[in-house]
Amino acid sequence: MANLDLLENSIPVAPIKIAALKGCEEMAKTVDNYLVQFRKEMAAHQKNGISWLGYSEDSFLIDCDCPRFGTGEAKGTINESIRGVDLFIMCDVTNYSITYKVNGYVNHMSPDDHFQDLKRIIAAATGKAHRINVIMPFLYEGRQHKRSKRESLDCAIALQELVHMGVSNILTFDAHDPRVQNAIPLHGFDNFMPTYQFLKALLRSVPDLRLDNEHLMIISPDEGAMARAVYFSNILGVDMGMFYKRRDYSTIVNGKNPIVAHEFLGDSVAGKDVIVIDDMISSGESMLDVAKQLKERNANRVFVCTTFGLFTDGLKKFDEYYEKGYIHKVITTDLNYRTPELLEREYYAPAAMGKYLASIIDTLNHDVSVEKVRSTTSKINKLLAKNRKK
C-alpha cells in the first residue's frame, strides 16, 4: 500500500469497523479484503514494534441488519459491540434490486428507504461508537442541490440530519454539485473523483488507445461537466470540446425541461477517438445524443466515462447505438448497483473502486490528511509514462 511511512508515523483514531447496509455488501467485502491486506502490510512494515488492539483483523465487517415488519416498518439492529470504534457505514441509495413486503405486496427499496435504513443503523449505535463516518458514493438527493423556485432542498436537509445524529464525516464520489457541503460547513464532507480509475479501465479495455493530441479529444456533454473534462484534458495534454443543451423552458416532462438540441463548441473531432466524461448516466438520452452527433462529425471511436451508471430506461437504446457504431465503450465505476445484464454487455467495462475506497478509510482512520489520497495526478502521470513506453 502507498503512504506506508505517512501512516506509520500517525496514531489510529480507534479500531475500524465497517457496517454494510443492504445492497452494499459486495463492495463492502471488496473494501474489507483490501483493508485486511493493508493492515497486514503495515504490521510487517512497523519499525517501532507498537501493536494497537484491533488494528489488524481477519475482517472489519460487523453484523447489522434492518428487518421489516409486515406493515413495511423497520428497525435497525447492530448485533455486536461497536463501543469505542471508528464506524464506517456504507450505503448505496441507488440499489433498487432489494425488495421487502408490505402487507403481502413486494416493494422495491427506493433511495428514501435506503436513507431511512442508514439513519436506523446510526440510531442503533446509540452514541457508543467513538466516531461515525458515512460512505455514500451516490449522494442522496444530490441532483436536487439548488432551489430554482418554491421547492424542497432535500440533499441539504439530509446532510444536516446526518450531522445532527452525530456523523463526523460524510464521504461521497463525484457529487453533482459539491457546493451542497455549504449546508454543513462545520463538519467533514469529502468528495472524491475516479479519474485515475477511469484511465486504468480505459487502457485495460482498449489497449490500442493512443493518448496524444493527434488521436484523442475530451468532450464535456454539458456545462455541468466542464470541470471534469478540463482536468482530464489538461492532465492528458489533449484538446477539449463541449456541448451545451438548448432546452424548452415552456414545458416540463418528467420533472425537467426537455432538451431541444445539443450544440457543439470546440475544434474538429474528425478522425479522433473521443472520451465523453460526466458524473452519471441516468436515462442516457442526452449522452447517446452527444455520441451520435460526434459520430456525425466523423469522430473515430466514442468512449463514455461516467462515475455512476443508473440506466433508468434500460439498456435497449445503448445496445442499438453500440450496434450502429455510435458508442464503442461505456465505463462506469462499481460504486453503485449494476444489473447482471449490464455486466454481460460487450461494450461495458467497470472501473474498480474498492482499493481506492479502502485506502481512503485507512487514511481517515489514522487522522491524517486525505489530500494525498484525493490527488491522483502523480499516479496518472506514472500510468501515462508506463503506457508511452509500451
Residue pLDDT, tens place only, 332-352: 999 999 999 999 999 999 999
More confident residue, 133 or 265: 133
Q: How many CB atoms lie within 10 A of CB 189?
A: 19
Q: pLDDT per residue over 125-135, tens digit each?
A: 988 899 999 99
pLDDT higher than threshold 90 for residue 382: no
E strand or H helix at 304, and its extent? strand 302-309
Mean pLDDT across the stretch 242-247?
Answer: 77
C-alpha dihedral, 274 to 275 to 278 to 282, nearest 10°: 80
Most confident residue range from 52-56, 113-117, 150-154: 113-117
Q: pLDDT value at position 144?
A: 79
Spell out the residues 6+ positions from residue 274 whose beta carbon is closer than 8 angstroms to its own: 216, 217, 218, 219, 294, 299, 300, 301, 302, 303
pTM confidence score: 0.90
In the predicted structure, residue 283 carries a pLDDT above the cut 60: yes
Q: Which residue has the cell 493527434?
A: 214
What whole-number percentage of the chain has pLDDT above 90?
Answer: 55
Over residues 145-164, the mean pLDDT reads 88
Instruction: Report pLDDT digits (tens) over 176-206.
Output: 888 899 999 999 999 998 989 999 999 999 9
pLDDT for res 12: 86
Helix then strand then coil, % of the chain, to nearest 5: 35, 25, 40
H helices of the chain, in order, are: 4-8, 25-45, 111-124, 154-164, 195-205, 226-236, 285-296, 316-323, 340-344, 354-365, 371-374, 377-389
CA distance 322 to 288: 10
Q: Report CA torsion sign: 198, 199, 204, 210.
A: positive
What is the separation, in whole angstroms, between the first and last Cα of the chain?
25
Work out the average pLDDT over 101-129.
93
Tell me: pLDDT of 250 over 60.
yes
The pLDDT value recorded for residue 228 is 85
Query: Over 80: is that where the pLDDT of 328 sits?
Result: yes
Closest CA to 234 of 210, 260, 209, 211: 211
